[in-house]
Amino acid sequence: MDNTDRTETGYSTSLLRRAALLAVLFAGGVVFLGAYTRLVDAGLGCPDWPGCYGHVLWPTEAGEIAAAEAAFPDAPVDLSKTWPEMVHRYFAGTLGLIILGFAAWAVRGRGRPDAPPLGLSLLLLAMVILQGAFGAWTVTLKLWPQVVTAHLLGGFTTLSLLWLLCLRTGALGEPQRFGVPAQLLPHAVLALVAVVLQIALGGWVSSNYAALACPDLPTCHGAWVPPMDLEAGFDVTQSVGPNYLGGLLENEARVAIQYVHRVGALVVAALVGALVWRLFQAGSRLAAPVGLVLAAQLTLGVLNVVLKLPLWSATLHNAVGALTLLALVTVNYAAVYRRRGPEPATLRSLPGRPVAA
């Protein structure tokens, strides 16, 4: 390893960057597995938490399955659902340990340029603890839509914060290399807010099983404005349980959720599309990536309706939604960097380069 890749403390800053990138990849896997688990209706594949029918993994032998069903008579064992739930839990638990490691690293190296930013690391730790609670409540509250949606948003937030860690440590290079003008910041913030709200709407669609409430496109049940029940569709005070598997809302309430999600998609397309055009005019390297993920996400949304929600398309829709969010986080970070100037010396410099004053 080149000596210029080390700080005065003897630690390698490249180690932090590699660790941050690996954490992002792992978090992306957790988000993907969470989407898959939800889409195959495996959210209650294990009726208890943190184990599965009292097992560290899940019951597989005939005797174990019989004992599990005797202990949980209202939850027969379905092996096609137990393993996705437990694999997701173990990946999420491992991610929690990784983030705990970042927090310990940040506390131990507080004030040193070779350690993760302390505030961001502690925020990540708080978020992953909250995510663990949401994971438990998802099971104990029987897929209550409010908790399922919050759990989804927590996963996307954790992924975004880890991506921000990559950006702040210079894992993707100097922010000015992206060529995002500072004057685009208000537009970029507005686009980011729209994408976050659309992700929340997508979570609400999924948790209320409203993805196919409108079977046609671009109309819904043959109408541009179909009969819908907005009040019931967005009633966040609905009571808990007894079990939301398959959904409990009437069709007009689900139509309302799906319809608002479609309107949100148009708003996101307009805002992010306009931002892509402005990035292109500015010669930004981010114009093409942001435009590609936006086009892919809109295409997958259409395919979900046309193909009646195939598993591959629905799962990819979640994954590309995450990529869209990360793309907007990058644009915002690059614009903020341009507006504020180089980061303080407490943050990292690139290997072989002096830390910016």
Q: What are the catalytic residues?
A: 85
Contact 330, 338 (CB under 8 A): no
**Cβ within 8 Å of residue 62, ≥6 positions away:** none
What 8-state DSSP symbol labels residue 1? Answer: -
Task: Tell me which residue has tokens 């929600």.
Answer: 309
Rounded to whole angstroms, the Cα distance separating 236 from 205 reads 13
Cis amide bond preceding 242, omega within 30: yes
Rounded to whole angstroms, the Cα distance separating 138 from 155 reads 13
The strand pairing partners of 223, in sequence order, are 220
Provide the token pair at 217.
């496109």
Task: Tell me which residue has tokens 């395919």.
Answer: 303
Contact 163, 76 (CB under 8 A): no
* Listed residue (204, 253, 261, 254) closest to 229, CA to CA: 253
Instruction: Work out the number of other CB atoms within 10 angstroms of the CB of residue 214.
Output: 23
Contact 279, 286 (CB under 8 A): yes
The strand pairing partners of 6, in sequence order, are 12
